[in-house]
Amino acid sequence: MRNFLSVNDAPNVPELVAKAAQMKANPFGFEALGRRKTLGLLFFNPSLRTRISTVKAAQNLGMETIVMNVTQDSWQLETEDGAVMDGGKAEHVKEAAAVIGSYCDVLAVRSFPGLVDREEDYQEKILQAFVQYSGKPVINMESATLHPLQSLTDLLTIEEFKKVERAKIVLSWAPHVKPLPQAVSNSFAQWVNHTNHELVIAAPEGMELSTEYAGKAEVLNDQAVALDGAHFVYAKNWSSYQHYGQIADHPDWIIDQTKMNLTQEAFFMHCLPVRRNVVVSDEVMDSDQAIHIQQASNRTWAAQAVLHSILEKL
Ligand code: CP
């Protein structure tokens, strides 16, 4: 594997999920692979899970890590070609990416969308600039539109907990107080569409995901109908794709125990961080059906599988 930007970089999704399980079973079995190799982690936005689990994954493979909170600790980066840089942005991404690439063997980048201009966000300018100018493999640690490390984790978690071979998985839009990216949900749909599981996406009218990512999923505007008979409920808020970046006011879309009772004793999943009693009730979060902690814990093994796949091709 050269880069890990989306599911399209995974040569074989089930094999990559199996590799993540292999890393979990034997975390230190490949310590020699990353010896004297450096992973540079660049954060343009906050992170708890991605930051710690990716560092841990690299350490398990014998790598050194350098972490930078770019927007706080470095120069503001210009991304436009031909820009006259007489404003607040002191460095062009062309130089920044090339210089950081010269210090590191693999780069990982987190860069969220602005949620104002859909066309601009969906161009993935920051991520693509690091691919183009760093000269090194790049891992997407959540970009404007996708979060593939999260999705690989999600598939590993579903594989561990599934009780039937073909599970019904419901990705449900949930309420939130501020506009959030579509990245986790786009990516989750894209990855589940590479499995044999049934995917149903529940979203209020106007909050449907891009059809490019929803793919073959059934899309329903009725949450109760969607939840009927589900084996997994994945709750996530996202802002509107159609009315780009706008939020919707549907507090009744919260996942509570009454909704979970519509399912086949479904497991509850969320990528975290989650706002309790806005997105999901305490009762669900604190129940035995909630597997969000196991899910977050699996982030290490997903990142380790991806790093392993990149390192073995370096
Ligand atoms: N799920 C996830 O990516 O968590 P962080 O934003 O804390 O990294």
Please say whether the beta carbons of 184 and 153 come within 8 A.
no
Please say whether the beta carbons of 5 and 283 come within 8 A.
no
Give the rounded percent of residues in the chain with a pLDDT score beyond 90. 100
CA distance 74 to 87: 16
Q: 313 CA distance to ligand 1 centroid (A)? A: 27
Report the chain's mean pLDDT, rounded to a whole number.
98
Atom of ligand 1 nearest to the CA of 296: 1
- Residue 211 amino acid letter: T
Please say whether the beta carbons of 233 and 170 come within 8 A.
yes
Output the CA–CA distances (angstroms, integers) from residue 74 to 5, 24, 67, 68, 96, in the order listed. 24, 35, 12, 8, 10
CA neighbor of 47 nearest in space, from 107, 96, 109: 109
Is the CB of residue 154 below 6 angstroms from any atom belonging to ligand 1? Answer: no
What tens digit of pLDDT does each residue of 80-97 get?
999 999 999 999 999 999
Is the CB of residue 297 below 6 angstroms from any atom belonging to ligand 1? Answer: no
Nearest CA to ligand 1 atom 1: 271
**pLDDT, position 114:** 98
Is the CB of residue 271 below 6 angstroms from any atom belonging to ligand 1? Answer: yes
Per this entry, what is the length of the chain?
314
Is the CB of residue 292 below 6 angstroms from any atom belonging to ligand 1? Answer: no
Mean pLDDT across the stretch 187-202?
A: 98
Atom of ligand 1 nearest to the CA of 147: 3
Atom of ligand 1 nearest to the CA of 51: 8
Q: 273 CA distance to ligand 1 centroid (A)? A: 7
Q: Measure the CA angle with vertex 265, ends 263 and 269; round to 5°.
A: 85
**pLDDT, position 162:** 98
**pLDDT, position 51:** 98
| pLDDT band at 255; cut points 50, 70, 90 | very high
Q: 50 CA distance to ligand 1 centroid (A)? A: 5
Mutate which of 41, 43, 48, 139 for ligand 1? The one with the most ligand atoms within 8 Å of its CB, which is 48
Is the CB of residue 142 below 6 angstroms from any atom belonging to ligand 1? Answer: yes
Mean pLDDT across the stretch 196-207?
A: 98
Mean pLDDT across the stretch 244-258?
A: 98
Atom of ligand 1 nearest to the CA of 272: 1
Atom of ligand 1 nearest to the CA of 53: 8
What tens digit of pLDDT does each residue of 148-164 get?
999 999 999 999 999 99
0.95 surpassed by pTM: yes
Is the CB of residue 74 below 6 angstroms from any atom belonging to ligand 1? Answer: no
Is the CB of residue 143 below 6 angstroms from any atom belonging to ligand 1? Answer: no
| pLDDT band at 39; cut points 50, 70, 90 | very high
Is the CB of residue 49 below 6 angstroms from any atom belonging to ligand 1? Answer: yes
**pLDDT, position 265:** 98
Mutate which of 271, 294, 295, 300 for ligand 1? The one with the most ligand atoms within 8 Å of its CB, which is 271
Torsion angle, alpha carbons of 32, 38, 42, 43, to 10: 40
Is the CB of residue 150 below 6 angstroms from any atom belonging to ligand 1? Answer: yes
